[in-house]
Amino acid sequence: MSAESIMDEIAERYDWSVEDQLSAALEYIDNQGGDDAFRDFMEQSARDTVICKFCGKEVPGRTAHLHQNQWVGNDCCWDERLRSTE
């Protein structure tokens, strides 16, 4: 399966834009390195919920943002200051 078809499947399944997918995947891979980094990213982002690193709330995994290798909730803690770091 090609990388392009994998990204298309993710976009359909999790309702992520390609830009969101690539941005999050590249950040994770840059921070983690290694052969399994992309697979780990996909497993984490596919979860129904993840824990926001700032407030500790469970937030939807498909809308959370990966920031410095931890998840940030879109509705609870993702603000203009963090958006500018993307």
Q: Are 40 and 33 in contact (CB under 8 A)?
A: no
Q: Among the residues of 1-86, which ranges form H helices?
A: 3-14, 18-32, 37-45, 80-83
* Nearest alpha carbon to residue 3 among 26, 27, 31, 30: 26
Confidence check: pLDDT of 66 > 90: no
pTM, 2 dp: 0.49
Write down the pLDDT at residue 80. Answer: 77
Cα separation, 75 vs 58, in Å, equals 11
Q: pLDDT tens-digit profile of 6-61?
A: 666 666 666 666 677 677 777 766 776 666 767 776 776 666 788 999 999 999 88
